[in-house]
Structure 1
Amino acid sequence: MSDERGTSVIFDLDGTLVDSELNYYEAGRRMLAEHGVMDFSWERHTDFIGISTRETVTTLREEYGIDTPVDALLADKNRHYLALAGTSTTVFPEMGKFVELLHGDGTPMAVASGSSRAAIEAILRGTGLDVYFRTIVSAEEVPQGKPAPDVFEEAARRLGSAPGDCVVVEDALPGVVAARAAGMRCVAVPYVPATAADPAFQSADLLYAGGQAEFSAQATYDWLNSH
Structure 2
Amino acid sequence: MAAQRQPSELLHPWLEAPPARHEVQCYFPPPTMPSSPLPYALIFDMDGVLIDNTPYQAKAFQLLFRDLGLTTNARQLLKRLNGMPATNILKTVFTGPVPKKQLEEYAAQREFLYRVLYWDKRRQTPGLSVFLRAARAAGFRLGLGTGSAPETIGYIIDHLDLRQYFDVVVGKDDVDKGKPHADTFTAAAHKLGVPPERCVVFEDAVLGEQAAYKARMRCIAVLSSLKARDFQAPLRVIKDFTEITPEQVRELLAQHSPVPKPSKERAKRNYMKL
- TM-score, normalised to structure 2's length? 0.70
Check if 1:105 corresponds to 2:120: no
Partners of 1:59 and 1:122 in 2: how far apart? 27
Q: Let me know the Cα RMSD of the aligned residues.
A: 2.6
Partners of 1:100 and 1:16 in 2: how far apart? 16
- 1:216 is aligned, of 231, 240, 243, to 243
Q: Are the counterparts in 2 of residues 189 and 215 from structure 1 also a CA contact under 8 Å? A: no
What pairs up with 1:136-215 in 2 under 5 angstroms?
136-194=169-227, 196-198=228-230, 201-204=231-234, 206-208=235-237, 211-212=238-239
Deviation at 1:47, TM superposition (A): 2.4
In structure 2, the CA distance between the partners of 1:101 and 1:192, relative to structure 1 (3 Å rule), is same
Counting aligned pairs with the same residue, the percent is 26
Deviation at 1:49, TM superposition (A): 1.8
In structure 2, the CA distance between the partners of 1:225 and 1:65, relative to structure 1 (3 Å rule), is closer
Deviation at 1:120, TM superposition (A): 1.4
Matching residue of 1:74: 107
Deviation at 1:150, TM superposition (A): 0.6
Partners of 2:61 and 2:205 in 1: how far apart? 18
Partners of 2:124 and 2:108 in 1: how far apart? 25
Question: What are structure 2's unaligned runs of at least 5 residues?
Answer: 1-35, 255-274
SS at match of 2:105: helix
Partners of 2:166 and 2:154 in 1: how far apart? 10
SS at match of 1:87: coil
Deviation at 1:94, TM superposition (A): 2.7
Q: Are the counterparts in 1 of residues 146 and 172 from structure 2 also a CA contact under 8 Å? A: yes
SS at match of 1:188: strand
In structure 2, the CA distance between the partners of 1:162 and 1:193, relative to structure 1 (3 Å rule), is same
Matching residue of 1:225: 250
Partners of 1:159 and 1:42 in 2: how far apart? 34
- TM-score, normalised to structure 1's length? 0.83
Matching residue of 1:33: 66
SS at match of 2:148: coil
Deviation at 1:20, TM superposition (A): 0.9
Question: What are structure 1's unaligned runs of at least 5 residues?
Answer: none
**Deviation string for 1:30-50 (max 9, x for gaps)?**
222332336644233322222
Partners of 2:216 and 2:53 in 1: how far apart? 27
**Deviation string for 1:57-97 (max 9, x for gaps)?**
2223x259878811111111122223334321221113333
> How many matched pairs?
216
Whichever of the two has the greater Rg, that structure is 2
Letter in 2 for 1:217: I
Letter in 2 for 1:183: R
